[in-house]
Every structure is written in structure tokens, then in C-alpha cells.
Amino acid sequence: MILDNIIAAFGEIGNVTTLALMLVGVAGGLIAGAIPGFTIAMAVVLTLPFTFGMPATQGLAIMVSVLVGGLSGGLMAGILTGIPGTPSSVATTFDGFPMARQGRPGLALGIGVWSSFSGGMISAVLLVTLAPQLARIGLEFNPWDYFMLVMFALTITASLSGRNLVKGLIAGAVGLLARTVGEDEAVGMARFDFGNDALLQGFDFIAVLIGLFAFSQLLRDVRDPEAAKKSLTEKGTIHAKIEHLAAIRTLVKHWAVVVRSALIGVFTGILPGAGGSVANILAYDQAKKASKTPEKFGTGTPEGIIAPESSNNAVEGGALIVLMALGIPGDVTAAVMLGALLMHDVVPSPTFIAEEPVLAYSIFIAFFVATFMMVGLQSFMLRVFVLVTKIRMYMLAAIILGFCGIGVFAINNVEFDLWTLLWFGILGFVMRQFGFPLAPMILGVVLGNIAEINLARAMAITTDISPFFTRPWSLFFMIVALFSAAYPLFQAHRGKRRWTLFYQPAACLAVALPLVMMGGVPRPILAALVAGFGVWTLYRRWQNGWRLEPADRPVLTE
Amino acid sequence: MGRLNRDAVIAIVLLMVCGILFWSTFSIRSPDYGQLKPSTWPRVVLGVLSLLSTIYLVQSLRRGPAPEDGPDKDDDGPARAPGPIGWVLYWRNPLWCFGLFFAYLVTLPTLGSLIGGVLFVFTLMGVLGGWSARNLLQHAALALITVGGMWGVFTYGLGVILPPGEIFSPF
């Protein structure tokens, strides 16, 4: 059955046009990822208008290609110039740049490319195998559970994406509010239209996404008039030949780092709110801790390149697992992918993979194919990267804003969308300046309708709100949402306040309760293990004289 | 006003917006069917937003006059000069971008997306990068090639009917 779907998916995307467009997508993603200040989400969101007129399979394959290219593009800038192209490749510069400066830029690039490839492949395999399994679990979800899942996604994104949880939650609520403008989806009544016909149709959420993310980011990039006139990097004449064979040998030698980092990446991707920017630092930190020579980290050690690059490419596989199986985006990039799916009238849900197997598997296969294309294109794109570094930021910003002015109109052929782009561009810019994270707002915009529809469905079944607390999955998501909301407080006061001693054991014991309520055999066993871990942690703290060391981990912020 | 820092002002503005929107939820019509009224969800969200804004206000007032967070990461370049002129000079590039995009939208029905887009990109490059003779040529070429190329892709490649404008209509 799976094999049939894979063959059918290959048939769908295995035509010259789609493959050629995917190649362009990977190349575009590589360049976008290599440009400091140009994020992967921005590249993916700007690709959206181009794909709307294409068949769903083709359009989504291109989006995936841009995504895969973008994930790997950051390493070029990071290794050759020391400036990470994207937040996902920050840790790559720690060892990639020193290795390049020691005269081995080709090896550093090779290790980066093949680590990206390996991370992508591991996560693609997990995507194909885990997504259908997770979708089966998702079939157990009722509207109450879905509503709570959305609340959990918003809460954890807010708690991970900024210094101030309240600001993150406000941003999420503003996103939810923006989505309520216009006719409501349940009964079609006008809301917040203030007598304006244009507002009656609501804000097109793709225009909102492009405004919030791309428009506001570009304005930030050109804020300083002098910096805007400079080339993207002054070191644009670097030439390097990728040492593929030496890099593969290095990767084989450090295969454990590759696998561990890829798994960290997949897990981080599955967790809503934590993207590549978190995964690459986390994987680097773990690789350093596990290394026999941690003192060499930061001086150009291969493990320091392998860990971040394997993990950041694996992140999107994880995010796509949740997106494809449950319809919940794990990060901003996955939120944009959800936008692409919705634009093609595809609504991801637990039944999506079963009902649209060819389309679902086409996305999986596109992820595989794009990863291979990425390796093939890296050497060529290195030359293009040198040219791109000569472009001045203000030129790039003006051209992209011009593109926004055309592309956003093309989505619905509605001029109001361009005004939406402008207003949300201003809002996004102001929010960034005032320290509000945009990721929760974007998730709020994308998930607002899903939350409301599921609340309406729940209320249509019964007006009693007790199922939110008595249904195992709903209770599970409520508990993890509460503990994730308290996580920034825990990190800030860890070891300084007494209650932080009990945070982790309390979380384990609380989570065990809904797992027991789910019934069956494996879940109560899992509940016992989780509760046992909580009790063991409490015991260790007691043995340690009720002391907890302050956090010495890298700060995980988006 | 002595205790009001920037965060407190933002919180007050948020609370005012919440109040206005909450008041306007009373004009949302409710049908006779469906358990969840169309106004319920916006009210829930506004309630949560009001609560969060109140917490934000209290946090800000407790902290005193200095704002907690500066801009995300915008400390590049020279420091901002005091006064409104200093503010405008500091933010002149984003203001130009907003202003010119606004002008592009206002003139879109007349100029259309091709002429309007080329003019927008050319003018924006000029104000951001300077008006030297070399720049003029470079910017004009870039604006024509990029906007013209995008317009061509959408019009002929994807079959999108972009606003033709009153001056130039290809259809």
C-alpha cells in the first residue's frame, strides 16, 4: 500500500516540468538561505504566489524544494563569511568559519553539505514512517482535543520565542483576533467589518503572513541607511572547491553525531514553537557535551559543523510530520506550508494521509528528491553566492517589495490584499521594534480558524465544557500548555526559588494522569515510566539536599 | 506620565483597542441556529488579550520609567538624535518604504502594476541608495528587468490578470 503510494507520488512529481521547477526552487532556497537577513520562512512565503496557479502537487513540491534549499543555504554564508545566513545556521559558524580560515573552506563546506544531506535523509525517512502513525493517533482527537492542541501550540510558541512570555502570548492573541475579522466560518455572520465591504471578506492570511514576515523584515534590514548601502558581505571574493570525498569520510567517522543531531532536529521540529534556530544550538551543545575533545569546539572541529547542520535540516521533517498528521504547524515555516496547502484547497488533518495518499506521499518524495538536488546544486550555487554577496541590501529590499506588490495581488486578484500587506507590514515592523515576537502571532493567524471551528463543533455536540478537562487528550494538551507557559519562569528562577525543585517532577506526574486515562496497554505503561521518572527526579533532589543548579544551557529563543 | 514607560503606553493602547473591539462585538448579529454565537470567540480572545495587556501594564508600571525591551536587534548605525526631526531621520528608510508603497497602492488603478511597480522599485532604490548618474542607470535597469520579469511570469506564465491601469492596458 505504502509502496503503491510512493510509486504514484513519483509519477506525480517525476515529470520534467516539476523536476525543473523543483531545481529552481532548491537553487532559490540555497541563495535565499545564504543571504543574511533573508530567512527561510521569508523565502517560502514569497514563493507562495508563484505556486497558486499550479496543480497542488507541483506547487507543494516547489515549496518543499525552497524549504530544503533554504535550510542548507545558511551554511555557505556561515562558513565562508562567519555571518550566518539564517538563524538555523548560527552554530555552524562556531566551527565552520574557523575551519575555513585555517585554509580548509572546501572541507568545511563539504562537511556542512553532507551533514545537511544526512540530516534531511534521516528526517525524511522518519517523516514517511512516523506521519501515518501519528495521523492514526490524531484520529482519536475530538473537537475539544483539537482546540486544546491549538492552545498548546500557541502557548509553547509564545514561551519559546521571546524574552517575555506575556508579550509572546499577547502576540498570539493578536494573531487570533486578526483572524476573526470578516465573515465567521461557522455561520457566515459579519464581524468587525465596520460597514466596509472589503473588511467583510476578512484579511487574506497569506497577505498577512507576507506582510508580517517579509515586509517587516525587509524594513528592518534597511533601517540603517549606511548599512543598507553596503554589499551583503564585504568578503565576496571567496573561492572554494567542495571536498566531497574527504567530507563523507569525516561524516562516516562521526556517524553517531550525525544520527544524534538529526534526531534532536526531528524532535525539535515535532515540538510546536521550536524551529531550526533552537535545534542547531541544542545539537551543537549536545555534541560538545558528548565529545571526547570538547575543548576543540570553537576552533574548527568537524563535529561542530556536523551537529548543527544535521539537526537544522532534520527540523523541517519533524515539523512536517505534525503538519501532515495533525494539521498543526510546528514553526513559522511549517505555518507557511500550511498556508500553501490551504491555498490549494488541501486541509491537513488526521485523515489527510489516508484520503489524499498521493498528494501526501508527493510531499514526502519531494522532500527526498529536493535533498538530493541540494547536494548536486551546492557546488554550482557557491559561485552564484559569490555574485549575490555583491548585491546591496537596499536593492534587494526594493526588488522584493516590488515583488510583494505584484505577487500578493496575484493570490486572489483582490486589491484589498495589497492594503492588508501594507498594514500588517507596518504592524509587524512596529511589533518587532517593541520586542513582540512574530512567531506566536503568525501561528495565531494560521490556527485561529481551526481553534474557532473546533470550539463551535464542541459546543454543537454539548454546551457542557467539562470534556475540556475530562477527555484524556484535551487534558494532556492543557497540562503541557500550562507547564510550557511556566517554563520561562522555571528557567529564570531555576535553582534560586524552592518551587523550581518540583517543576519537573510535577510535570511528569501531571502528564502521567491523562496517559493513564487513555487506557489500553502501551499508554498506561508509558504513564508509569513518566511518573516513575518524576518520582526518581524528586528522589535525586532530596538526595542532593533539595538543591537545583541554575541553568547553564544556551538560551533557547527563536 | 512620569511613571509611564513605552511598554506601559503600549499596554494602555492595547487595552483601549480591546475596549473598542469588545464594544463593537455587541453589533455582531447572531442567527437563531448554532450553539457558538459569532461574537463568542472574538469576546473570548479579547478577554484573554485584555487580561494579558493588564498584566503587561502592571509589569511595566512596576519596572519604572525605562522600557524592558528595546528593539529586537536594531542597534546598528549611529544613535538617534533627540526630537521629532531626529526620530524622522533615524527611521527615514522604513518611512520611505511605507510611504512609497502607499503611493504605489493609491496610484495602482491609474498606473497599473507594471508601470507602478517599475516606478516604485526605481524610486525606492533612488531614495535608499542615492541619485548619482551611475545609480540612476543601474536602478532603472534593475527595476525594468526585475519588475518586468515578474510581471511577465505572472501575466504570461501563470495567467494572472494584474491591474493594467488606465495608462497602459495590454488587454
Question: Where do the structural domains in chain B lie, given as residue ranges?
Answer: 6-70, 91-157
Q: Which residues 30-59 of B are in CB contact (within 8 Å) with A?
A: 30-31, 33-36, 38-39, 41-42, 45-46, 48-49, 52-53, 55-56, 59
Mean pLDDT within B119-133? 93
Q: What are the φ and ψ backbone dihedral angles of A392, each rounded to 5 degrees?
A: -90, 145
Look at residue B21 in the predicted model and tell me its pLDDT.
95
Rank A77-86, A91-100, A523-532 by mean pLDDT and report only the highest: A523-532
Q: How confident is the model at residue A5 (pLDDT cuts 50, 70, 90)?
A: confident
Give the residue from chain A lying closest to B159, CA to CA: A53
Give the residue from chain B lying closest to A459, CA to CA: B35
> Out of B71, B97, B159, whose CB is closest to A433?
B71
Query: Smallest CA–CA separation between B117 and chain A, in Å?
Result: 6
Query: Smallest CA–CA separation between A402 and chain B, in Å?
Result: 6
Tell me if chain A has a CB within 8 Å of the CB of B88: no
Instruction: Convert A242-270 into a string of H (helix), E (strand) and C (coil).
Output: CCHHHHHHHHHHCHHHHHHHHHHHHHHHH
Neighbours of A381 (CB within 10 A): 24
Q: What is the dihedral of CA A477, A479, A485, A488, to 10 degrees?
A: -120
Set of chain A residues whose Cβ sits within 8 Å of the Cβ of B25: 191
Set of chain A residues whose Cβ sits within 8 Å of the Cβ of B158: 50, 52-54, 410
> Out of A191, A392, A397, whose CB is closest to B38?
A191
Residues in CB range of A166: below 8 A, 6 or more apart: B52, B55, B56, B59
Q: Tens digits of per-residue pLDDT, A271-305?
A: 776 677 778 888 898 888 888 888 888 888 999 99
Q: Tens digits of per-residue pLDDT, A222-269?
A: 888 888 887 766 554 466 788 889 999 999 999 999 999 999 998 888
Cell of A415: 486589491
Q: Tens digits of per-residue pLDDT, A26-41?
A: 998 888 887 776 777 7
pLDDT at A490 over 50: yes
> Out of A52, A170, A227, whose CB is closest to B77?
A227
A443, A84 in Cβ contact below 8 A? no
The C-alpha atoms of residue A36 and residue A396 are separated, in whole angstroms, by 12
Please count the residue pairs, one from chain A and one from chain B, whose beta carbons lie less than 8 angstroms apart: 205
Residue percentage of chain B with pLDDT more than 70: 87
> Out of B21, B70, B108, whose CB is closest to A192?
B21
Q: How confident is the model at residue A549 (pLDDT cuts 50, 70, 90)?
A: low
Least confident of A465-474, A537-546, B48-57, B80-89: B80-89
The C-alpha atoms of residue A131 and residue A136 are separated, in whole angstroms, by 9
As a whole number, the mean pLDDT across chain A is 85
Q: How confident is the model at residue A552 (pLDDT cuts 50, 70, 90)?
A: low
Least confident of A378-382, A517-521, B38-42: A378-382
Set of chain B residues whose Cβ sits within 8 Å of the Cβ of A148: none
Cell of B123: 524610486
Give the residue from chain A lying closest to B107, CA to CA: A415
Question: B170 or A11: whose pLDDT is higher?
Answer: A11
Q: How confident is the model at residue B73 (pLDDT cuts 50, 70, 90)?
A: very low
Residues in CB range of A305: below 8 A, 6 or more apart: A75, A79, A92, A95, A96, A99, A108, A111, A112, A115
pLDDT at B126 over 60: yes
Cell of A368: 527526498
Q: Tens digits of per-residue pLDDT, A58-70?
A: 988 999 999 888 8
The C-alpha atoms of residue A2 and residue A357 are separated, in whole angstroms, by 9
Query: Smallest CA–CA separation between A58 and chain B, in Å?
Result: 13
The C-alpha atoms of residue B72 and residue A84 are separated, in whole angstroms, by 17
Set of chain A residues whose Cβ sits within 8 Å of the Cβ of B151: 406
A32, A69 in Cβ contact below 8 A? yes
Instruction: Convert A539-553 into a string of H (helix), E (strand) and C (coil).
Output: HHHHHCCCCCCCCCC
B34, A186 in Cβ contact below 8 A? yes
Look at residue B169 in the predicted model and tell me its pLDDT.
62
Cell of A257: 553525531
Set of chain B residues whose Cβ sits within 8 Å of the Cβ of A163: 69
Look at residue B72 in the predicted model and tell me its pLDDT.
44
Give the residue from chain A lying closest to B149, CA to CA: A403
Question: A22 or A82: whose pLDDT is higher?
Answer: A22
Query: Smallest CA–CA separation between A506 and chain B, in Å?
Result: 25
Report H helices in chain B: 6-24, 40-63, 83-90, 92-129, 133-152
Tell me the CA distances in angstroms from A479 to A138, A268, A465, A470, A475, one per residue in order.
18, 19, 16, 12, 6
Set of chain A residues whose Cβ sits within 8 Å of the Cβ of B93: 219, 222-225, 228, 394
Cross-chain Cβ contact B6/A435 below 8 Å: no
Look at residue B145 in the predicted model and tell me its pLDDT.
95
Residues in CB range of B98: below 8 A, 6 or more apart: A219, A422, A425, A426
Tell me the CA distances in angstroms from A136 to A131, A436, B81, B129, one per residue in order.
9, 36, 60, 55
Q: How confident is the model at residue A392 (pLDDT cuts 50, 70, 90)?
A: confident
Cross-chain Cβ contact A190/B97 below 8 Å: no
As a whole number, the mean pLDDT across chain B is 86
The C-alpha atoms of residue B111 and residue B164 are separated, in whole angstroms, by 7
Q: How confident is the model at residue A111 (pLDDT cuts 50, 70, 90)?
A: very high
Look at residue A243 in the predicted model and tell me its pLDDT.
87
Mean pLDDT within A78-87? 76
Look at residue A325 in the predicted model and tell me its pLDDT.
83
The C-alpha atoms of residue A188 and residue A224 are separated, in whole angstroms, by 46
Cross-chain Cβ contact A222/B94 below 8 Å: yes
Question: A11 or B49: whose pLDDT is higher?
Answer: B49
Give the residue from chain A lying closest to B128, CA to CA: A394
pLDDT at A138 over 70: yes
pLDDT at B79 over 80: no
Q: Tens digits of per-residue pLDDT, B139-164?
A: 999 999 999 998 998 888 878 888 88
Cross-chain Cβ contact A426/B98 below 8 Å: yes
B30, A450 in Cβ contact below 8 A? no
Instruction: Convert A265-303 into a string of H (helix), E (strand) and C (coil).
Output: HHHHHHCCCCCHHHHHHHHHHHHHHHCCCHHHCCCCCCH
Set of chain A residues whose Cβ sits within 8 Å of the Cβ of B137: none
The C-alpha atoms of residue A400 and residue A221 are separated, in whole angstroms, by 12
Q: What are the φ and ψ backbone dihedral angles of A226, each rounded to 5 degrees?
A: -70, -45
Rank A49-53, A212-216, A463-467, B67-71 by mean pLDDT and report only the highest: A463-467
Question: B80 or B165: whose pLDDT is higher?
Answer: B165
Cross-chain Cβ contact B77/A406 below 8 Å: no
pLDDT at A557 over 80: no
Look at residue A228 in the predicted model and tell me its pLDDT.
84
Which helix (H) or strand (E) segment holds residue A205: the answer is helix A205-209
Q: How confident is the model at residue B55 (pLDDT cuts 50, 70, 90)?
A: very high
> Out of B14, B41, B143, whose CB is closest to A452?
B41
Look at residue A558 in the predicted model and tell me its pLDDT.
38
Look at residue A556 in the predicted model and tell me its pLDDT.
43
> Out of B24, B93, B146, whose CB is closest to A399?
B146
pLDDT at A349 over 90: no
Interface with B, mutate which of A187, A199, A200, A454 (most B CBs under 10 A): A187
Mean pLDDT within B80-89? 81
Query: Smallest CA–CA separation between B84 and chain A, in Å?
Result: 17
A231: three-class secondary structure by DSSP: strand
Position A83, amino acid: I
Cell of B17: 483597542
Residue percentage of chain A with pLDDT more than 90: 28
Look at residue A555 in the predicted model and tell me its pLDDT.
45
> Out of A187, A194, A224, whose CB is closest to B77?
A224
Query: Smallest CA–CA separation between B104 and chain A, in Å?
Result: 8
pLDDT at B18 over 90: yes
CA neighbor of A420 nearest in space, from A149, A173, A265, A209: A209
Question: A188 or B131: whose pLDDT is higher?
Answer: B131
